[in-house]
Structure 1
C-alpha cells in the first residue's frame, strides 16, 4: 500500500530540509518568467522559493492536506503559486509545460520509477531541465528507514514485491540508463547536510510524527501486543541513531545526498 503523506505532521521534516530546497532553487536561477513544476511539493518549500524569484509555479503533491498547507504558506508570504493534488505517475501538467521540474526528496518515493520518469520527461519543455534530490545510502535517514523496515518485516512478514524494481535514485549509472530511453542525459553532484538535535532522543521525538512513523505506529497498534512492539521499535531506532551519532555531547549526523540534473541530449 502506498504511503499516505498526509498522515501525522510532515511540517517539521519540511522545515529541516528547507536549506536543500534553497540550494536547488539557487542552482536553477534565473527563474523570472519560467514555468516551474515542484513535484512532491510537500509544504511548498521549493515552489515558494521559485515563486519569490518570479517563476510561474505549480506545486503538485498526492497529499491533499499538504497541498492546503502549501497554499496557506503562499498566502502568508504574499506570493502567487498554484498547488494541486497529483502524483508522479500522472502529473496534472500539459506536455512541455515545465521549463524546470523540481523534486526535492519526493519523486524518489514513487512506487513506479519508470512511470515517474516518463511523466517528468513528458511535462519538461524541449529546452527545459529536471532537477531532483535523493539520499545516498548511510546517514540518519537510511538508519531510521532501514531499521524500521526490517522490524516491520519481522512483525508482519516481508511484503511481496508489487510492481517494478526500485530505482537507485542516487546512482549515476542507474539514472543514466533510466533516463536514456526518454532521450535525457544525467549529471549527479553529491553534497552533505547535517541534522542536529540536543540528543538522539530529541531527534527521534521530532521524527515521531513523520508520515512513515505514524503509518508504522498505526499498523503496530492493530496488533494485540502493539504497545510492546512499539516500545521495541523505539528501542531499536534509538540504538541505530546513537550508533551513527558524530557528536557525543549532543546529536549530529552528516547525511550525504545527490543533486540530479537531467536534460535532453
Structure 2
C-alpha cells in the first residue's frame, strides 16, 4: 500500500529540510519568469522559494492535507503559487509545461520510478531542466528507515517480491540514473551535498521523528495488533540504539546526512 504522506505532521520534517530546498533553488537562479513545477511539494518549501524569486510555480503533491498547508503558507506570505493534488505517475500539467522541474526528497519515493521519470521528462520543456534530491546510503534517515523496515518485515512477514512489481531505482547512483533517463534523451549530472540534523538528545530526535508519516503509518499498523504496545516499545528501542550509534555529538545529538542533487537535461 502506498504511503499516505498526509499522516502525522510532516511540517516538522519540512522545516528541518528547508536548507536543502534553499540549496537546490539557489542552484537554479535566475528564476524570474520561469515556469517551475515542484513535484512532491509537501509543505511548499521549494515552491515558495521559487515563487519568491519571481517564478511561475505549480506545486504537486499526493497528500491533500499538505497541498492545503502549502496553499496556506503561500497566502500568508503573499506569494502567487498554484498547488494541485497529483502524483509522480500522473503529473497534472501539460506536456512541456516546466522550464524547471524540482523534486526535493519526493519522487524518490514513487512506487514506479520509471513511470515517474517518463512523466517528469514529459512535462519538462525541450530546453528545460529536472533537478531532484536523493538520500545517499548511510546517515540517520536511511538508518531509521532500514531498522524500521526490517522490524516491520519481522512482525508482518515479507513474502517473495512480486516479479511484476517495478524494480526499485538507486536514485543516488549516477550510472543507474543515466540509464533510466537515457531513453528519454536526457543526460544526468550528480553533485553530493550534506546536511546536519541536530537535537538536544537522541531521544528528542527520535521523538520528533515519530511524527513523520512513515513512523505514524508503522505505529498505526502495530496498534492494530493485540501485542501492539509491546511491539511499538521494541521498535522504539531498536531505533534509539541506531540513532545513538550514529550520533556525532556526545553532549547532544548531531548526525550528518549526505544527499545527492541530480540534474537532468536534454
CA contact (8 A) 1:47 1:59 kept: yes
Aligned CA RMSD, in angstroms, stands at: 0.6
Cα distance between partner residues in 1 of 2:61 and 2:160: 26
Please report the TM-score for the alignment, with normalisation by the length of structure 1. 0.99
Is there any run of 5+ residues in structure 1 with no aligned partner, and where? none
Q: What corresponds to 1:192 in structure 2?
A: 194
Is there any run of 5+ residues in structure 2 with no aligned partner, and where? none
Matched, 1:37 2:52: no
Q: What corresponds to 2:240 in structure 1?
A: 238
Between the two proteins, the alignment pairs up a number of residues equal to 264
Deviation string for 1:54-90 (max 9, x for gaps)?
0000000000000000000000000000000000000
Q: What corresponds to 1:5 in structure 2?
A: 5
Q: What corresponds to 2:56 in structure 1?
A: 56
Deviation string for 1:10-55 (max 9, x for gaps)?
0000000000000100100010000000000000000000001000
Q: What corresponds to 2:130 in structure 1?
A: 130
Runs of 4+ in 1 over 4 A off after TM superposition: none
Change (3 A) 1:160 1:61: farther
Q: How does 1:73-112 map to 2 (within 5 A)?
A: 73-112=73-112
Please report the TM-score for the alignment, with normalisation by the length of structure 2. 0.98
Residue of 186, 209, 220 corresponding to 1:207: 209
Matched, 1:22 2:34: no
**SS of corresponding position for 2:265:** strand
Deviation string for 1:89-148 (max 9, x for gaps)?
000010000000000000000000000000000000000000000000000001100000
Q: CA deviation at 1:161?
A: 2.9
